Chain A
Amino acid sequence: MRGLGEYLDKFKETKMIIFAGKGGLGKTTCSAALAYYLAVKKGKKTLCFSTDPQASLSDIFERDLFGKGEVEVAPNLYVVEIDADKRIRDYIEDVKRKIKEMYKMEEIPQEIESYIETSAVEPAMYESATYDAMVEYLVSGKYDYYIFDMPPFGHGVRMIAMAEVLSAWVEKITEAREKAREYDEIAARLRGGSPLSEDAILKELYDIRSRLSYFRDIMLDRNKTGFFMVMTPENMSILDTEKALKMFNELGLTLSGIVVNQVLPPEMINNPSPLIARRAEVQQKYLSVIKDKFGKYIVSVIPMFDREPKGLKMLEKVASYLVENPLQI
């Protein structure tokens, strides 16, 4: 086990790295630490983006990043903590403005207005807005690396599945639109009219389709995207990781590796505190289960620290275990 560094050496075309897993296990910490390593140690322009509605990048980087867009927190290291609610509000306002401008309306018809307002409060809008932001950043191609901190497991995998579902949906409606366009052209030709002007809906659909396909193609390319699960030596985490592996297989994704976090050093078994000694003993038991079940996937083991992993100094420490010198188990 040689850490994530080995992975980065092997997959040199990597563009995107995604950390998934249950809540509270250290996904955000791992994302921040890896982003720190790539940006500060390797000099690569890196974006660390949290898609978790309960994200704590502000906490980890010890500054208010929420809803502030791309903030450079260290040389080459940019962080985004998305305010999805604001993004939805802005998006809705854009749609309304466009309708008013297109039809020279003062007010939007009640029926359309209430449709827009109902859509805006749907729970799925939050996921969609976050997903769209991920796509937008990746498509911009401004960064060497994109590190995405996914929301807790079920939700996170659904976000990944969304790429497939949305692409298929856009493909279908584009097909329907192209068919309509064909009929328009035939009718225009038979009537001896002039060629039709560009279909604005098709233009929008092609734009959505090209962005989604670009994102999906990168995400499903093993050479360009790495998926890492974060887990801890606890039974619940083991069960959750098993479920996640099953879901990854069902989605046709390849898990790049597992990071085991918050591991107490084995010598803690002899700690005078019975609480700590017992916890270390239990962890050792589960570590051997983890080795049996997921041995081939483990890329890094990070110890439990005596303080919260906050601030650049602590991130440097986490990064050294995560990327270069993992704890050996």
Chain B
Amino acid sequence: MVGFLGKIKDTLKEITYGMALHSQVTGILKTRMYIEHLFTLMVLGDMLGFPVLPPYYSLRLLPYAIPNVQKWKHRFYRERDFTDIIYG
């Protein structure tokens, strides 16, 4: 009985989340991705030919940035069109 009630509770929680919060969380994560890319540009800009500062301290941060480098470069070089205005 407790298990059944627990399942109902979880389902209601997920429905509420989906209806009220999911789009908000997606928006937040999208903004967070933009900030992450900006951060990567500030640290590893010279990887794309934008020298920001001597890379001594950037190299110290490089190991942590590696998982995002590909996505960041892809997004940076991606062609833009009018749909970007709509979908960001």
Q: Which residues of A contact B (CB under 8 A)?
A: 91-92, 95, 98-99, 102-103, 111-112, 115-116, 119, 122, 124-125, 127-129, 132, 165-166, 169-170, 172-173, 176-177, 179-180, 183-184, 186-187, 190-192, 200-201, 204-205, 208
In the complex where A103-B66, A128-B54, A187-B25 touch, is A180 in contact with B35 (Cβ < 8 A)?
A: yes
CB within 8 A of B59: which of A95, A124, A186, A187? A95
Within 8 A of A (CB), among B51-74: 52-66, 69
In the complex where A132-B56, A186-B28 touch, is A180 in contact with B62 (Cβ < 8 A)?
A: no
CB B15 to nearest CB in A, in angstroms, measures 13
CA distance A184 to B46 in the complex (A): 27
CB of B8 within 8 Å of the partner chain: no
Within 8 A of A (CB), among B13-48: 13, 17, 21, 24-25, 28-29, 31-32, 35-36, 38-39, 42-44, 46-47
| Inter-chain pairs besides A172-B42, A177-B39, A192-B13, 6 sampled, C-beta below 8 Å | A99-B63, A112-B62, A169-B42, A176-B42, A183-B28, A201-B65
Please tell me if the beta carbons of B35 and A183 are within 8 angstroms of each other in the complex: yes
CA distance A184 to B44 in the complex (A): 22
Please tell me if the beta carbons of A99 and B25 are within 8 angstroms of each other in the complex: no
In the complex where A119-B58, A122-B55, A124-B54 touch, is A184 in contact with B63 (Cβ < 8 A)?
A: no
